[in-house]
Amino acid sequence: MSSSDRPKNLGILMVVGGPGGSGASTIAKMLASHFKLNRIYAGGLMRDIAKSKGFETYEAFLENTPEIELEKLDKSMDKKLMKYSFLPNILIDSKVFAAFSSKYRISTTVKIWLDCNLEIRVKRKLGKVGGSYGLVLEDLKKRYEKDKTRFERLYGIDYSNPKKYNDIVLDTSRINEYQTFSLILKLIEDGKYIRK
């Protein structure tokens, strides 16, 4: 994939990411609504692929799909996200696109990463999907390590260092979604990322 800059007349390209349970997708929806952006949810696109292949859950898909197949899917997804990033007024909700856009020199308006301690992420996930604390804990740990290894191997991305790729990095462990949203709006305004 060649590097390419994004024309300014396409408007906003916002990127939001974070590990499972950090609140990234919830905040991405709120930001997309607030700024009237079309939200592209990379996780949702991957879940659709998992369903089309007969898996009940995305976790089962990840566990039972060979690494080489996952890598092919990742690369295919990257091409899709690259195309989406050249549509007007877009928010890309993805764990990897902030780093990906840096690598391929795609101009973004603002890149936001939400982090959160593991215990809170487990509780948030349990609140959404239920289940056993131990199983959710193991799943989140496994997912993080798998993502970290895959992204590093595929792209040379340092997944454990989001400050390297993002404009705003925020720990949401002690704040709820409304406080997070308000704080992000203030940080966007203070940083003059979006001019009125």
Complete domains list, the chain, with CATH: 12-190 (3.40.50.300)
Instruction: For residue 139, report the phi and psi dihedrals to the nearest 5 degrees.
Output: -60, -45
pLDDT digits (tens, 9 = 90+) for 33-77: 999 999 999 888 888 888 888 888 777 777 787 888 888 888 888
Average pLDDT over residues 122-149: 87
pLDDT digits (tens, 9 = 90+) for 6-38: 888 999 999 999 998 899 999 999 999 999 999
Q: What is the pLDDT of residue 196?
A: 63
Question: Which among 46, 85, 45, 77 has a CA at the least distance from the CA of 62?
Answer: 46
Mean pLDDT of the chain: 89
Question: What is the helix (H) or strand (E) element at residue 170, kind and residue range?
Answer: strand 168-171
Q: What is the pLDDT of residue 23?
A: 92
Q: Is 13 helix (H, G, I), strand (E, B) or coil?
A: strand
Quote the DSSP letter at residue 192: T
Instruction: For residue 182, report the phi and psi dihedrals to the nearest 5 degrees.
Output: -60, -45
pTM over 0.85: yes
C-alpha span between 164 and 151 (Å, rounded): 14
